[in-house]
Structure 1
Amino acid sequence: MCGDCSSEHVLHKLNRDHKLFPVDQLGSDEYVTELRARQSVPCDHNSKDHVEIFCPVCKKCICATCSFLEHKDHDCLRIKTAADKRKEKLELLVRPIEKKSLVYDKFKTAAEHQKRLVEEGRKKAKSQVNNHLELLIKMASQRAEDLLEEIDAKSNAKLEVLNVLIATATAEQNQLDDVVEFLRKLINHGNDMDVLQMASACEQNTESIHALKIPTLPAAMTQLQLITNDMEECVTNINRCLGDVVPAVSGRLLTSFKVDLEKSHKEFISDVTTDTNGDILIGIWCNEAFSRNRIHIYDTTFVLQGSIPNPRAAEKGAFGGIAIDDNGNTVTRCQASNEIIVYTKTGDQVRTFHSELPHAVAVNSKGHYVVAGRDTLTVHHKDGKVLQTTPDPEGKYSKCIHCNVNDDIIVTGDDHIRVYDSTLQLKYRYGSQGDGDGQVNIPRGTCCLDNGDIILTDFNNHCLHLVSPDGKFKYFLLGEDNGLRYPTDVTIKHVGKLVVGESGGNIKFFEL
C-alpha cells in the first residue's frame, strides 16, 4: 500500500496490532521473525489448541496437550528446538556438497588449461610442418596436407572429449549449486514447518548428489609435436622426413611438496596414488622397522589429512602398497600375515581376506583385486574369492603392479617388467639391465596413458620410460634434466598432472 493508505490502515481499531514493513524489507530477519511469530496452525487432534510441539517419532507437529497423551513417550521437542536440530543436520549435509563443488571448479580450470595446451600444441605442430614444407616444396606437399589433417583430427578429438567433460562437470555442478541454493534458502528463510516437512526429502536428495562422481580427465598427453628425421633422407623417403604427429610431454615442473621422513630409520617413499577427488595417498616404507610402515593421505593443497598405520605393527609385518577400488576404499596388503586389507578413506578397516605372500595389489576395471604375490599372480573378487591365478617369477625386490584400461596387468621384476593380458597370459617383457634405451636399473611403479602407453619409473637411472602398448621403448619421458632423483612411483591425477614420488620424500607434479 502507499504511504497514505498505510497511515490510514493503523488508525482502524482492528488493525492496531498490525506491523507494516516496507517492500524492500520483506526478506529481512525482522520480517521473518515477525512472520513466524504470527503463524499458528491448529492441532489435528485438538483443533482448539495450536501446534507448538514436534514429535520426532511420528514426524508431525502437535499441541502441548497431545504431547502428554498419545505422544508422551516420543521425546517430543518444541518446534523451534526441533527445527534448529534439523537445520544443524542439514548444514552438515551442505558443507561436503559445497566442498565437492569447489573440486568441480578445480577440474574445469584444469580442463580449460588442457584446452589451451592443445591449441598451443596445434599451433606448434603446424608451424613445424610448414617449416619443413618450405624445404620440400612440391615433393612434400601431399604429406604435409595429410599431417595437417591428422593434427586437426587428433586435436579436435581431444577437444571434443574435454568439452564433453566440461559440459558434464558444469551440469553436475549446477545440480549441486541448485541443491545448495535450495537448502540455504530453507535453512535461512524457511519457516519451521517447511523445514520439518521438507527435511527428509532434502536428506534423500543429497544422497543422490553425493553419488555423483567427479569426471576424470583423460590420462593422455595434451600437446602434439612433430618427430622428424634427417632432411638428407627426403629424396628417398619424404614421409619419413616429415615425420609423425605424436604426443609430447612438456616436462615442466608445476609444483612439489616434501613428505617428512624419519632419517634415523631410513624411511623412504614406496607408493604414490590419487583418488577421484584429487587427494594424494603416499606409502612410506622402512626396511629397518616394518612397524613404521604407513600410508599418509594429503588433500589437494598438500595438507596431511590423516594416516593409516601398520595394522600388524606388533607382529612386525611388512605393510604397504596402495590401490583405490571402485568404492573409493584404500586397498593395501601385509605380506607376513598373508592379508589384503581394505580401508575407508578415513582409515576405518572394511574387511580383510587371505592372499598368499602378497607384494602389491591393483584394481581392474571390473573392480576385482589383482595381487602380485611372491611367486604368483592372482585375481580376487572383492570378497576375497580367487577368480584366477598363475605363476609369476620371484625376484630380489618387492614387486609393483598396475592395471591399464584394457585390464592388462603390469608387474615389475628386478630388471624388467612383465605384461599379462586379462586372462593372465604373458604378453611380453620389457627391459634389461643397463642405462640405455630400453634398459632399466631397478624398475619400480608404473601407470598408463589412455592410448595404452606405459610410464615406468627407473629408480637408479633417475628417469621415466615411455613404453608402447606392444612393449617397445619410445623415449625417456623425464630424467635428471627435469630434476628427477630416485623415482619410486608415478601416477596421473584426474586433472591431468603427472605425479612422481621420489625415494627421499619429494612428491613432484609435472605438466603432461
Structure 2
Amino acid sequence: MSVEAGRKKAKDQVNNQMELAIKMVRQRTEDLLEEIDVKSNAKLKVLNALIASAIAEQNQLDDFVDFSRKLINHGNDMDVLQMASACEQSSESVQTLGIPNLPPAMTQLQLSTNDMEECVTNINSCLGDVVPAASGRLLTSFKVDLAKSPKEMISHVTTDSNGYFFIGIWCDDDKSRDRIHIYDTTFVLQGTIPNPRAAEKYHFAGIAIDDDGNIVTRCQGSNEIIVYTKTGDQVRTFHSESPEAVAVNSKGHYVVAGRNTLTVHHKNGKVLQTTPDPAGKNHKHIQCNVNEDVIVTDPEGDHIRVYDSTLQLKYRYGTQGDGDGQVNDPLGTCCLDNGDIILTDLTNHRLHLVSPNGKFKQFLLSKDNGLRSPRNVSINHFGKLVVGESGGNIKFFEL
C-alpha cells in the first residue's frame, strides 16, 4: 500500500510539473505570437509609407511619359520650341526621383531557436528525477527583503491551489510597513497589499485563502476582517471583535481567533458560532484541519488548543521547554490530510508533528535541517513544506 501510494504521489508530481511546464511554454508562445504581430505591424507601417512614396513618384513618372508622347506625336516645330522649357524641367525631375529600396530584412521575420538545447536541459532540470523521498531535505529557498531599522519580520506564510504563495510582513515600530506580498510559482513578486489602516496606526496581519481564492486577513485595531482578491482589490470587510487571527474551514466559513473569543463567521460576516477563548499577551495563530477541528496557538502559554467543529475544547498540546512535546514560543500551524498537525517552535528552531488526538509523534525539522526561527508553515500544491523564518528566509523542504 505504501509503494502504491508513493507511485501515485510521484506520478501526480510529474504530471503537475508537466502541466506547469506546458503552462509556461503556452505563455511563452503567446508572448512570441504577440511579438510577431507587433514587429510585423511596425514593418508594415514603414513599408506602407514607402509604397505610398513609390506610388506618388510612379504617378509623376507617368505624367512625364504621357507629356513626352503627346509632344512627339502631336507637336510641331513651334510647339516644341514653346514646350521645350517645360519638358526640360520634367526631365530633370524624373532624373532625381528617389525610388525606394526595400531590403529583404525589412520583410522577413525569423524565429531563433539557438537556445533549444539549453531549453531541453532546463526542462529536464525542471522535471527532475524520480528518487526516494528524503524527509527534511531542503529543496530550495529564497529571501524576502526586510528592513533592519525599523525591524521587519515574517509573520505569516500560506499557499493556494495554483502554487501562489503569500507572505505577511510585520513591523512593530512602524505599522505602515505591515503588508502582504504575493509571489508566483517561480518566486516572482506579483503584487503587494499595503496596510489599509496605516493612518490609524493599527496592525494588519494574518493570511487565509477562502474557497473563492480570495485573501482573508484582519485588522485588530479597527475590529475588521478584510477580504482581497489576488490583485489587491478589496472585496468586502466586516466587523469581528478584536480579531488576532483568521482561518477558513472546509465549509468556506471564516474562523476568527479574537482576543477573548473564538468565532465562526459566514463569509458575508454573519456570526454562526462563538465561544470564549483565553486571551494572552501575544497574538494568536489559527488553522482548521480536514476534521473541522480548529487549532489555536497560544504563544504565551507555550501550547496549542484544539477545538472540535462545535467549538468544544478537545485537548491542549505542549508545555514550556525543549523536550519531546515541549515548545518555546509556538506560532504557525498547518495540517496534513490525515489530520496530523505541524507546529512551529520558534525559539527551539524546530517543527513538531502532532497526531489528531494531540500526541507528540516526532520533530519534523530542526537546526540540523538548517531551520532558524520558524514563524509559520504551509504545504504547497506539490506537497512540499514551506517554512517562513523570522529573518525573511522562505524555505521549501521535502515532507
Normalised by the length of structure 1, the TM-score is 0.55
What is the CA–CA distance in structure 2 between the aligned matches of 1:407 and 1:417, rounded to whole Å?
16
Q: Secondary structure at the match of 1:350?
A: strand
Residue 157 in 1 paired to residue 44 in 2? no
Choose which of 350, 371, 374 in structure 2 pairs with 1:463.
350
Corresponding residue for residue 321 of structure 1: 206
Choose which of 179, 185, 196 in structure 2 pairs with 1:294.
179
Taking the TM superposition and a 5 Å limit, the aligned residue runs for 1:106-125 are: none
Q: Secondary structure at the match of 1:360?
A: strand
Choose which of 375, 378, 383 in structure 2 pairs with 1:488.
375
Corresponding residue for residue 102 of structure 2: none
Residue 423 in 1 paired to residue 302 in 2? no
Corresponding residue for residue 17 of structure 1: none
What is the CA–CA distance in structure 2 between the aligned matches of 1:488 and 1:395, rounded to whole Å?
18
Taking the TM superposition and a 5 Å limit, the aligned residue runs for 1:149-298 are: 153-160=1-8, 250-298=135-183
Taking the TM superposition and a 5 Å limit, the aligned residue runs for 1:62-77 are: none
Q: Which amino acid aligns with 2:339?
A: G
Deviation at 1:154, TM superposition (A): 2.3
CA contact (8 A) 1:272 1:500 kept: yes
Corresponding residue for residue 105 of structure 2: none
What is the CA–CA distance in structure 2 between the aligned matches of 1:438 and 1:171, rounded to whole Å?
40
Deviation at 1:161, TM superposition (A): 6.2
Indicate how the Cα distance of structure 1 residues 450 and 316 shifts in structure 2: closer, same or farther if over 3 A, else same.
Answer: same
Indicate how the Cα distance of structure 1 residues 342 and 336 shifts in structure 2: closer, same or farther if over 3 A, else same.
Answer: same
Deviation at 1:453, TM superposition (A): 1.1
Higher strand share: 2
Choose which of 502, 506, 511 in structure 1 pairs with 2:389.
502
Higher helix share: 1
Choose which of 263, 270, 278 in structure 2 pairs with 1:393.
278
Taking the TM superposition and a 5 Å limit, the aligned residue runs for 1:348-359 are: 348-359=233-244
Corresponding residue for residue 259 of structure 2: 374
What is the CA–CA distance in structure 1 between the aligned matches of 2:264 and 2:279, rounded to whole Å?
17
What is the CA–CA distance in structure 2 between the aligned matches of 1:317 and 1:404, rounded to whole Å?
30
What is the CA–CA distance in structure 2 between the aligned matches of 1:486 and 1:160, rounded to whole Å?
34
Q: Secondary structure at the match of 2:166?
A: strand
Q: Which amino acid aligns with 1:156?
A: E
Structure 1 residues without counterparts, runs of 5 or longer: 1-152, 189-221, 225-247
Deviation at 1:158, TM superposition (A): 4.5
CA contact (8 A) 1:249 1:477 kept: no
What is the CA–CA distance in structure 2 between the aligned matches of 1:352 and 1:330, rounded to whole Å?
12
Deviation at 1:155, TM superposition (A): 2.3
What is the CA–CA distance in structure 2 between the aligned matches of 1:255 and 1:171, rounded to whole Å?
20
Corresponding residue for residue 231 of structure 2: 346
Figure out how many residues of one structure are paired with residues of the other and give that number: 303
CA contact (8 A) 2:224 2:238 kept: yes
CA contact (8 A) 2:16 2:382 kept: no
Residue 479 in 1 paired to residue 366 in 2? yes
Residue-by-residue CA offset, 1:56-92 (whole Å, 9 max, x unaligned)? xxxxxxxxxxxxxxxxxxxxxxxxxxxxxxxxxxxxx
What is the CA–CA distance in structure 2 between the aligned matches of 1:257 and 1:170, rounded to whole Å?
23
Corresponding residue for residue 49 of structure 2: none
What is the CA–CA distance in structure 1 between the aligned matches of 2:274 and 2:261, rounded to whole Å?
7
What is the CA–CA distance in structure 2 between the aligned matches of 1:273 and 1:171, rounded to whole Å?
22
Q: Which amino acid aligns with 2:329?
A: I
Indicate how the Cα distance of structure 1 residues 223 and 386 shifts in structure 2: closer, same or farther if over 3 A, else same.
Answer: farther
Structure 2 residues without counterparts, runs of 5 or longer: 37-129
Q: Secondary structure at the match of 1:428?
A: strand
Normalised by the length of structure 2, the TM-score is 0.70
Deviation at 1:452, TM superposition (A): 1.2
Larger radius of gyration: 2
Q: Which has the higher contact order (CA 8 A, sep 6+)?
A: 2
Q: Secondary structure at the match of 1:278?
A: coil
Residue 411 in 1 paired to residue 296 in 2? yes
